[in-house]
Amino acid sequence: MRVITGSARGRVLKTLEGEDVRPTTDRVKEAIFSIIQFEIEGREVLDLFAGSGQLGIEALSRGAAYATFTDLSKDAVSVIKSNLLTTGLHKNSAVLQTDALTFLKNSKKKFDIILMDPPYSKGLLQKALPFAAEVTNDGGVIVCEHPHGEEMPEKAGKFVLYRSYKYGKLALSVYRIGDDEE
């Protein structure tokens, strides 16, 4: 697993071990950053359910101003911190060992980009989306990775399902502020 482009391009990232680990493939990561490529520079990013931190690290490498990483796993937090040091991007980040829903419910901070790739088939995206919408700035974007065929809500607060993309067995759902004139 490597950083695709930007200041940390080509740096190898550590990943977690185990059967429950499912890092985002390069193909899907490329797709995510193709979708939001013009929205990254100088933005505040939240990598929720961060795992190895590769999505937030990719955003930092591409010019995001700051990234906050959350994961419940102590091992994941350790890997994220290591990856941030390896890439030299640790100064523009915070890594928190916390439950994603608790973090979202208590966050006073707002984000421009929220990247969510939780463990599959646990309903975590559906639970987190309304809270994520509350901490996303107007004009921001929420990107969710999930199994293709998993039902995603049409709305989350002021955010609506803007577009879905399919990549084999995976899908990306992108949420943006809805049009008030509809």
- Residue ranges of domains in the chain, CATH in brackets: 26-177 (3.40.50.150)
Q: How far is CA 38 from the centre of its chain?
A: 16
What backbone torsions phi and psi does residue 90 show, to the nearest 5 degrees? -65, -25
Question: What is the rounded end-to-end Cα distance, in angstroms, of the chain?
Answer: 42
The model's pTM is: 0.94
- pLDDT bracket for residue 73 (50, 70, 90): very high
Using the predicted structure, report yes or no on whether residue 182 has a pLDDT greater than 50.
no
C-alpha gyration radius of the chain: 15
pLDDT tens sequence across 32-66: 999 999 999 999 999 999 999 999 999 999 999 99
Q: Given strand 66-71, what is the order of strands in its sheet?
A: 93-97, 66-71, 44-48, 111-116, 136-147, 170-177, 159-167, 155-156
Residue pLDDT, tens place only, 78-101? 999 999 999 999 999 999 999 999
